[in-house]
């Protein structure tokens, strides 16, 4: 089953950037995430606890992003993907993180990553 729940254009300020002038400021970031999960239990029960809570996920993404400065957008994207896979019932996700004001001639720059849930097997 490959049901998808998505959040598009989550916009927030965070400390991001490798250059010295970026270290003390907050910059605008935009995030899209598409998460694979099974929505059937929620669809049948109409129970929010049986699905992915968009608000809780959005709040967690923003809180993590704002908790500390991140040098690279690549690192932040990877950390956010790992966080979601560890904390929520997600089988796989595709996350796009954009930094709109990074290059004057571009509307935005960023990364898109896809990560599956890696099941750890005890040896």
* Residue tagged active-site, from 23, 28, 99, 120: 99
Task: Tell me the CA distances in angstroms from 5 to 10, 14, 53, 93, 104, one per residue in order.
Answer: 14, 24, 10, 9, 32
Four-CA torsion 95, 26, 65, 35, nearest 10 degrees: -20
Q: Is 81 helix (H, G, I), strand (E, B) or coil?
A: helix
Return the bridge partners of 120, or none.
none
Count Cβ atoms within 10 A of the Cβ of residue 86 and give its class: 0-12 exposed, 13-18 middle, 19 or more buried. Answer: exposed
User: Is 99 one of the annotated active-site residues of the chain?
Assistant: yes
Residues designated as active site: 99
């Amino acid at each position: 089953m490959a049901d998808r729940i998505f959040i598009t254009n989550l916009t927030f300020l965070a400390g991001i950037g490798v250059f010295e002038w970026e270290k003390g400021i907050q910059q605008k970031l935009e995030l899209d995430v598409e998460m694979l999960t099974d929505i059937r239990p929620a669809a049948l029960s109409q129970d929010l606890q049986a699905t992915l809570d968009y608000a809780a996920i959005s709040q967690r993404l923003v809180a993590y992003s704002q908790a500390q400065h991140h040098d690279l957008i690549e690192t932040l994207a990877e950390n956010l993907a790992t966080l979601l896979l560890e904390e929520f019932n997600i089988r796989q996700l595709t996350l796009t993180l954009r930094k709109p004001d990074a290059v004057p001639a571009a509307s935005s720059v960023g990364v898109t990553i896809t990560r599956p849930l890696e099941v750890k097997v005890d040896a």
